[in-house]
Homo-oligomer: A and B are copies of this chain.
């Protein structure tokens, strides 16, 4: 009998599934001091309780199922030293996020942004087709691939950027992150889908925005830390970037009267691009992803999917 700490809600059906593998569920509310070192799996992460578990010399913790695609908030180095595996929620919200991204593009491309505030008759006809706005996606994981699929389905052109330039199906071409300029020169829409790591911090800065005369749309659905917001605001103000749509920001929540709220060219969706009805909530559907790793983990401590490379941080 082993223990799973359910930081996020688990249904009765989920408990039945776990009981088949002799996994008992405790919650942050019910866990006792004696149970702290017995926790083998943390289902989602509670920082305070998690640190307490890690501080216990007898801790049996072996697996953390993160509640998100990005895991930059976890003590990755410490977990690596302890040989604890982290699985992330990558892919969980790829479909809803890709649909929000397509919504952003069509919102500006089809001139809907003009009409949302126009309360008199004054037709606007400077629209774009998807095929007229080539898209460059930084990050070619689940979310990037889902975006590529949606863009291609509407007749668009989509390039991808990843660490090595390794091919990924669904993109018209892939470029390595050290040599993406040829693709950027062709792109009208840039999607920041980078994970939050030391390497990606402030990747989209003044230097990046100075590489082109005008970009139609900059999108951030990666991590707030990957974008220098001051530099984006400057690029918006001198029209090098015409529009921006940001799902993630620094900080979250943004304080009242933050300049990002004040620019009509910027659409902010307040970290909710993952929304859907069925698997409601930011972690909705997490268990379906988690349960796929349970059989092999309980059998011989291995995983079939979503394992984070703790050195790289994603």
Contacts and interface: CB of A to CB of B under 8 A. Distances in A.
A126 to B, nearest CB: 7
A129 B96 contact: yes
Contact of A125 (B119, B153, B254, B281): B281
A127 interface: yes
Interface stretch (A78-86, A235-243, A272-280): A272-280
Contact of A99 (B109, B119, B123, B272): B109
Interface in A92-109: 95-96, 99-100, 102-104, 106-107, 109
Given A128-B276, A132-B278, A277-B128, A270 B122 contact: yes
Interface in A245-269: 252-256, 261-262, 267-269
Q: How many of these chains are in the complex?
A: 2
Interface residues of A, number: 56
A253 B103 contact: no
Contacts of A153: 150, 153-154
A130 interface: yes
A208 interface: no
B276 A115 contact: no
Nearest to A258: B121
A269 B121 CA distance: 9
Contacts of A103: 103, 106-107, 109-110, 112
Given A118-B270, A125-B275, A127-B277, 20 more contacts: A96-B127, A99-B129, A99-B154, A100-B127, A102-B102, A103-B110, A106-B106, A107-B107, A115-B267, A119-B261, A121-B254, A121-B255, A122-B270, A125-B281, A125-B282, A127-B276, A128-B277, A129-B277, A132-B276, A150-B154
Interface of A: 95-96, 99-100, 102-104, 106-107, 109-113, 115-130, 132, 150, 153-155, 252-256, 261-262, 267-273, 275-278, 280-282
**What are the 6 closest A-B residue pairs judged by CB atoms, nearest first?**
A127-B275, A153-B153, A103-B106, A121-B253, A103-B110, A123-B270
20 contacts: A99-B110, A99-B129, A100-B106, A100-B112, A102-B154, A103-B103, A103-B109, A106-B107, A110-B273, A111-B275, A112-B267, A116-B267, A119-B261, A121-B270, A123-B270, A127-B277, A128-B277, A129-B278, A153-B153, A153-B154
